Amino acid sequence: MTLKEILRQDAESVYHATEGLFGLVEDSQLGWKPSTGSNWMTVGQLLKHCSEACGMTVKGFITGDWGMPDGMEPGDLPPEEMIPAAEKMPGVQSVEEAVRLLSEDKATTMRLFDEVSEDRLANERSSAPWGGPERTLFQHCHEMIWHLSQHKGQLYYYLKLQGQPVNTMHLWMGGTG
């Protein structure tokens, strides 16, 4: 199995399960967040974040386009803008919007995985703009799939905390089968 095949297979699985969880959210729940603790995203913010958690950063790693204004690099942002507090994060206005954005993100991710070479995935090394050790391009791309998966898990627990009858199949398969 090639590195591209691993990325595509793992991304397909995570996007599928995430979309299934999105389908369990009602528009009326978009403003909900846990009542204890601090710095929690609302459901609407979490759906928006999921819809940008993989493709946007895969694009940055593969193409160097981080979506920054001309002349700026991600490292130029102050820490509070690089990783903003939850209350400053944008959200979606509807579940329909979230599903559309997630689909667009998936299409971007899969297109980029198709376009990148096996050689680049295996041998190109860099550090992420937010810091950390050098990793291969494959590792960075795979970590972005993990990033989406982490927030998929967060949505799963948000749904559980709201009394939704979700189970392990929802977490891993997007539903009951």
pLDDT of residue 131: 84
pLDDT of residue 84: 78
Domains with residue ranges and CATH for the chain: 3-27+40-65+89-173 (1.20.120.450)
pLDDT of residue 22: 97
* Structural contact between residues 140 and 131, judged by C-beta atoms closer than 8 angstroms: no
CB atoms within 10 A of CB 34: 13
Here the tokens at position 79 are: 């820490």
Q: Say how far apart CA 40 and CA 54 lie, in whole Å.
A: 20
pLDDT of residue 71: 67
List per-residue pLDDT tens for the chain, 177 residues long. 999 999 999 999 999 999 999 999 999 999 999 999 999 999 999 999 999 999 999 999 999 988 777 766 766 666 666 677 888 899 999 999 999 999 999 999 999 999 999 999 999 999 998 888 999 999 999 999 999 999 999 999 999 999 999 999 999 987 654
**pLDDT by residue (tens digit) across 121-149?**
999 999 998 888 999 999 999 999 999 99
pLDDT of residue 80: 64
